[in-house]
Amino acid sequence: MSTLTTTKPYDEVFDGQKHYRTLLNCTARPGTIGQLDDASLDIPPMYSHATAWIIMALFTGDTTYYLGKSFEQVMTQSVSEDCGFIRSETAAKPATAAQADFLVLFDANLLEKVGDIRLGSLPYPDLGATAIVQVEGISPAPMQGSLRLKLTGPGIENEAVVYVKGASESFFATRRELNFEFPMGVDMFLTCDSLSAGPCVLALPRTTNVEFERA
């Protein structure tokens, strides 16, 4: 649940386009922590504002999506309410993980439990899914209980270092397995609501190699 104080209503055109440009910049320059300007919009408590803004920027009526939730969240939050937000704001349609264009994971550690995920094919690697994954924190500096990520690959000069809290080693090991048969694989956006910086996003394209260790 976000505890941020918002100051202006969400504008589908202005905010959506601005957030979309931020996502493009973060994808082109992995390791960049993008800040998504916050706004006022009625979203279900389970969503971070960062997750909601990415959904608003990327989902359309032609989009299919899969929601992944922890057991505790399933017991306290209505699936229909979660889907209702996406349906009313974007007209996107729910689907199985194997069919979905996007996976929305409210718990990063659900990734290894999702099962089949659309990875695309050698002729059409662009058909691989994109995962939007909520974590507890994203920072350029160490945080207690965080993982230190060393990123290398296209868009990165030498290497980039960033710290993520709320995603385990097994999460990043699963990501590596999903992207093993490059160019097939899964692109990712990690999201969090920072009390100091506001809604934040870290892009992890399938082209980015991630080495991880406890900070």
- The pLDDT score that the predictor gives to residue 155 is 96
Q: 66 is written with which tokens?
A: 């899969």
Q: Greatest CA span in the chain, whole angstroms?
A: 46
Lowest average pLDDT, out of 111-120, 122-131, 167-176, goes to 111-120
| Bigger pLDDT: 7 vs 41 | 41
Judge whether residue 6 has pLDDT over 60. Answer: no
pTM of the complete model: 0.90
Place of tokens 């440009």: 21
Domains of the chain: 14-137+168-209 (3.40.50.11310)
Which residues make Cβ contacts (< 8 Å) with residue 106, sequence separation at least 6?
Answer: 46, 47, 51, 67, 68, 69, 70, 73, 134
Q: Which of 159, 158, 132, 136 is nearest to 147 (CA)?
A: 136
- The pLDDT score that the predictor gives to residue 208 is 98
| CA dist., res. 71 & res. 73, Å (int) | 5
pLDDT tens for each residue of 153-205: 999 999 999 999 999 999 999 999 999 999 999 999 999 998 777 899 999 99
Q: What percent of the chain has pLDDT over 90?
A: 72
Query: In the predicted model, what is the mean pLDDT of residues 7-18?
Result: 84
- The pLDDT score that the predictor gives to residue 184 is 97
83 pLDDT tier (thresholds 50, 70, 90)? low
Judge whether residue 214 has pLDDT over 60. Answer: yes
